[in-house]
Amino acid sequence: MDDYQAVRELLPAPPLSPEVERAGRERLAAAFAQERRRGRRAARWSALGLALAGAAAAAVVVFTQTVPSGAPATSGTVTQADGKQFLLVAAATVAAMPDEGTWWGSTEVHGRQFHEPGGRYVLQKSETIETWIPADPEGLTWYRQTPHGVKPATPQDEAAWRADGSPTSWTYDRSRTGGLPEEVVRAEPGERRTWSTEDWDFRILTAGKPLTKMSDLPDTPEGLKRLFNADDRTTIDTAARLLFFAPVASETRAAAYRLLASVPGVTAVGQVTDALGRTGQAIEYTSSEFVPPGHAGTTMTRLVIDPVSGKPLSLETRSAADGLLLRYTAIQDSRWAADNPLEKK
């Protein structure tokens, strides 16, 4: 297994500890060294990190350009598919947004739902991750992680939880948790942490080469499709990462919307309520990209978009069998800014 494949298997991953990030940087250092010697870039660089519950924080997305056996790579031609016009509305909105600022900031809520050990109700574990990525490749990337603990997922689950005696911890047999990493899950929130990392560039890698400038990414759906050079499902997954987690140029983000509107396998769901209760338009597709480790069975990935603002709202992974919301990333805010508030604290 090469280093890029190892990184890809970590996606999505939680905000990593400084020790784990240091090990990752060492593995990627060789790939970055040649690009860094060319000098510091003048434009902002493109970036992407995905976190454990479908979210973004401290990993690098890899465009492997590997097509599964029997699935031909797509051509560079993009044709418009029906039923997803709201994506074109969102594209027109974001294309007009300015790309100004020296920091890319995002605030995301990462969550995961799972049954309590007896299967009587559903629990939800969540945390907020604030990330500030500098346009300067020599700068520090800053994080703030705020765990929210575990609680019943819905009012119905809360009623069942109360009937169960309102427990504050749950003990699992690891062999029967479907990949749940903890043996004992506790309700109380964890401690808030703020930290920074050195030389963690969040660069997008393609064909073994780091892309270090926003101008390295195409600003048309045809250009993105040629860059991804993959089967339709991989193209959809990669476009979703760009939309939700990458500080790319507005025109590139708009191109990703237009690409999603054209790729087969994407179904328009209509108006939905996302994991935070916000209303938006959604698309769904079958994918194993954002599935929690150890989960068996088919899953659907749902992207919820606000077409008026052009902003992505949430990326959700649901069980195709019962609709259980397995994992989600809800974007509360993402923007370019002149200052990084975490750096001052």
User: Are 142 and 132 spatial neighbours (Cβ–Cβ below 8 Å)?
Assistant: yes
**pLDDT of res. 189:** 94
Within a domain: residue 343?
Answer: no
Q: What are phi and psi of 302, to 5 degrees?
A: -115, 130
Q: What are phi and psi of 99, to 5 degrees?
A: -110, 80
Within a domain: residue 196?
Answer: yes
Q: What are phi and psi of 306, to 5 degrees?
A: -95, 100
Return d(Cα 246, Cα 325) in angstroms, integer.
Answer: 24
Number of domains in the chain: 1
Res. 81: pLDDT tops 80: no
Res. 231: pLDDT tops 60: yes
User: Are 100 and 139 spatial neighbours (Cβ–Cβ below 8 Å)?
Assistant: no
User: Are 47 and 201 spatial neighbours (Cβ–Cβ below 8 Å)?
Assistant: yes
Res. 30: pLDDT tops 50: no
- For 91-120, what is each residue's pLDDT tens digit? 999 999 888 888 889 999 999 988 999 999
For the entire predicted model, the pTM comes to: 0.73
Burial of 211 (0-12, 13-18, 19+ CB in 10 A): buried
**pLDDT of res. 345:** 58
- The kind and range of the H/E element at 237 are helix 232-245
User: Are 64 and 5 spatial neighbours (Cβ–Cβ below 8 Å)?
Assistant: yes
Q: What's the farthest any 2 CA atoms get from each other in the chain? A: 64
Within a domain: residue 23?
Answer: yes
Structural domain boundaries enclosing 123 = 3-68+77-337
Within a domain: residue 130?
Answer: yes
**pLDDT of res. 301:** 93
Count of helix runs (H) and strand runs (E) in the chain: 7, 14
Report the half-sphere exposure of 155 (CA within 13 A, side-chain side): 0
pLDDT class of 73 with cuts at 50, 70, 90: very low
* Other CB atoms within 10 Å distance of the CB of residue 295: 18
Percentage of the chain with pLDDT > 70? 67
Within a domain: residue 344?
Answer: no
Within a domain: residue 342?
Answer: no
Question: Helices in 49-148 by DSSP H: which ranges?
Answer: 85-95
Return d(Cα 261, Cα 110) in angstroms, integer.
Answer: 26
Within a domain: residue 134?
Answer: yes
Q: For residue 303, what are its two tokens?
A: 């992207």
